[in-house]
Amino acid sequence: MPARTLGTEGLQTSALGLGCMGMSQSFGARPPRDEMIAFLRAAVDRGVTFFDTAEVYGPFHNEELVGEALEPVREDVVIATKFGFAFDENGKQTGVTSRPDDIRAAVDGSLRRLRTDAIDLLYQHRVDPAVPIEDVAGTVKELVEAGKVRHFGMSEAGVATIRRAHAVQRVTALQSEYSLFWREPEDEILPAVEELGIGFVPFSPLGRGFLTGQVTAATEFDEGDIRASLPRFQREALEANLALVDLVTKVAERKGATVGQVALAWLLAQKPWIVPIPGTRRLERLDENLASAELDLTSEDLAELDSASASVQVQGDRYPEAMQRMIDR
């Protein structure tokens, strides 16, 4: 697996990471724990060194899973996790919080669950409008100085917020959705992080499975699948959006690749400091994703994909309204 570097502080990862959220929530029934531990260790064997989790995934279950699975190879991998949500006494997520005391408590909990002495990359999961970002970055800076955190990241943050945070504690990576299915970061986010020397980590680089070619107009999402509630995946929007998959499929067939491989290779070709984190819990899909790092797209291929993406107006918001409001732009 080729390596890439996020930010200017030397955080090196595999060119593709692994998003771990789906092992605990959002995509149907939770798989058996022992199977997911074996899966995570198989990913390491295949050269994946970058694993993405968060305290809210589960909640808490995902960090525990990742911690147990990666403990034997802890020195060989980069673990990213996130703070920023509040929970009630039953562990149910109740909103956002980035108060300094809550950040410190979240980090202590994450360290314990991840079975590690330091978090390689700590993201603020969502911007908290009630707490100045300078206070957030300052608290993370203290945690870096204490040795509990190695690098600071942000997720779904807007340019002005990133600049203010970066002035207090250097931001190593920004995580936001980015794919052929969603190119909004190109307008302002990518130019800003390139200027500041910040790496970029696209989540949902396959559009939550949309860009795998496995989703059709007839696909039914069950109640435990987050896509059942997402505007983009509602019947009318889904049927319109599938026009993009049809266009990408033409390139995939010509290259002898899958739609998902072409979508990931397109992302990797955008910038050398972009590290996508496709999520999966199946080995055959993991192997398919990792092979995209070896897929060479020509300038003509990339131009065709850009044209295809520009020609399809994606229908539907990324999230339901309440979740959409949490995005800082």
pLDDT of residue 205: 98
pLDDT of residue 223: 83
**Counting beta carbons within 10 angstroms of the beta carbon of residue 282, is it exposed (0 to 12), middle (13 to 18) or buried (19 or more)?**
exposed
Q: Tell me, yes or no, whether 124 lies in a domain.
A: yes
The terminus-to-terminus CA distance of the chain in angstroms comes to 34
Q: Is 57 a known active-site residue?
A: yes
pLDDT of residue 100: 98
Instruction: Locate all alpha helices (DSSP H) within 115-209, ordered by sequence.
Output: 133-145, 159-166, 189-196
Let me know: does 129 contact 92? Beta carbons within 8 Å: no
Q: Tell me, yes or no, whether 251 lies in a domain.
A: no
Q: Tell me, yes or no, whether 248 lies in a domain.
A: no
CA atoms of 148 and 144, how far apart (whole Å): 6
Q: The CATH number of the domain where 157 resides is what?
A: 3.20.20.100
Let me know: does 51 contact 82? Beta carbons within 8 Å: no
pLDDT of residue 328: 94
Element (H, E) at 201: strand 199-203
Query: Which CA distances in Å does 294 have to 65, 89, 288, 302?
Result: 29, 47, 11, 15
CB atoms within 10 A of CB 38: 13
| Closest-CA residue to 44 (of 64, 24, 72, 23) | 72
pLDDT of residue 329: 84
Q: Tell me, yes or no, whether 327 lies in a domain.
A: no
Give residue 104's identity as a one-letter amino acid code: R
- Which residue has 């330091």 as its token pair? 118
Q: Please count the CA atoms within 13 angstroms of the CA of 17 that sit on its side-chain side.
A: 30
Q: How many structural domains comprise the chain?
A: 1
The DSSP code for 30 is P
Domain coverage including residue 188: 3-209+271-295
pLDDT tens for the 329 residues of the chain, in order: 999 999 999 999 999 999 999 999 999 999 999 999 999 999 999 999 999 999 999 999 999 999 999 999 999 999 999 999 999 999 999 999 999 999 999 999 999 999 999 999 999 999 999 999 999 999 999 999 999 999 999 999 999 999 999 999 999 999 999 999 999 999 999 999 999 999 999 999 999 999 999 999 999 998 899 999 999 999 999 999 999 999 999 999 999 999 999 999 999 999 999 999 999 999 999 999 999 999 999 999 999 999 999 999 999 999 999 999 999 98
Q: Tell me, yes or no, whether 190 lies in a domain.
A: yes
Q: Tell me, yes or no, whether 185 lies in a domain.
A: yes
Q: Tell me, yes or no, whether 259 lies in a domain.
A: no
Q: Tell me, yes or no, whether 264 lies in a domain.
A: no
In our burial notation (b when 16+ CB lie closer than 10 A, e otherwise), range 51-72 reads: bbbbbbbbbbbbbbbbbbbbee
pTM across the whole model: 0.97
Q: Which of 57, 123, 178, 319 is catalytic?
A: 57
